[in-house]
Structure 1
Amino acid sequence: MTDLVITRIFDAPRELVYRAFVDPDQLAAWFGPVGWSVPRDSIDIDPRPGGRQAFTMVNDDDPAMSSPVDARFVEVIENELLVGEENVSHIPQFGAEVLRMRVEFFDEEGGRTRLVLTQSPFPAGMADGAREGWGSSFTKLDKLLG
């Protein structure tokens, strides 16, 4: 098991990057690697401690392939921090009960934002694919923020 840590600089103010994570319309526009999408009607987000984050990623070529997410926010500081936990005990390859995701938003010079995403505990064998998926998703987010 490992911590998957991804740092990315976005050419947009922190408040706009944060909104892209909590606004359902924006999340539908960027979340999921290229070749996957998140139907707007599948999204339920309540960004507060105890609030829910649920949506379904759907494969663009084969809509029968999908990946649901159903997590709870455990810590939220507007424009600064999102921490969520998802029960993954039903996914044997995870080898853990709970997957925790922490997304931190920091101001950078020039009105940019440094985002630090940490997911743990992450099975080492799945980390590379997840890193690629986030990179692909963040490329879509770059376009949305631009």
Structure 2
Amino acid sequence: MNENKVSSQMKHRVEGKDLVVERMFNAPRDLVFKAFSEPDHLASWWGPKGWDTTIYRFEFEPNGVWHYCMRCIDKDQGDFYGQESWGRSVFHEIISPEKIVYTDVFADEKGNPVPNAPEMFITLKLEEHQCKTKLILRTQFKSEEELPKVMDMGMVKGLASHYEELDEYLKQL
């Protein structure tokens, strides 16, 4: 089991065709769950630093769809500035405040999956640890070959930035 640290806050490891990410947040589990389950909260932090997220559809229930667009608004990010990244998720299981299971795929502005884009089966678990919350994200790919492609695209670095944004947002609440 190869384990790496992207920052002092986040650890990740690869287990076959799964990417497992762990990070501790200095906030109660109910609040972290709310940040993932309410669209106003989610839009306030979702995406890496320098990106803005607009949520077009959010049905937080089993078989509900979440359709969103992240836009790079930071001119210092060079070629990324102005780029859009659309996503579409379908929720499968929700156990408040401890677990969210969903599939996620790159999509177009209408919510159609991008051809040949990897579909990710994601299990998000939140564990309470003395008024703090441990987030465990398990992203499963259909094959072991898909995982390195997504990692080469910067998925781990993006998640680290993503969770830094969540950490900052939780401090404001």
Normalized against structure 2, the TM-score is what? 0.73
Q: 1:37: which partner in 2?
A: 52
Q: Is residue 136 of structure 1 aligned with residue 165 of structure 2?
A: no
- Give the counterpart of 1:28 among 36, 40, 43: 43
Larger radius of gyration: 2
Q: Which has the higher contact order (CA 8 A, sep 6+)?
A: 1
Q: 1:86: which partner in 2?
A: 104
Q: Which runs of 5+ in 2 are unaligned?
A: 1-15, 76-80, 107-112
SS of residue matched to 1:123? helix
1:1-146 alignment, distance < 5 Å:
2-39=17-54, 42-60=55-73, 61=75, 62-63=81-82, 65-87=83-105, 90-92=114-116, 94=118, 98-109=119-130, 111-121=131-141, 122-127=146-151, 129-146=154-171
Contact 2:87–2:105, Cα closer than 8 Å, also in 1:
no
Instruction: Please give the alpha-carbon distance, in whole angstroms, between the structure 2 residues aligned to 1:12 and 1:28.
Output: 19
Higher helix share: 1
Identity percentage over the alignment?
29
Q: 1:81 to 1:45 in 2, by over 3 A?
A: same
Deviation at 1:21, TM superposition (A): 0.6
Instruction: Please give the alpha-carbon distance, in whole angstroms, between the structure 2 residues aligned to 1:86 and 1:144.
Output: 23
1:103-124 C-alpha deviation (Å, 9 max, x unpaired)? 1011102x00011011111521
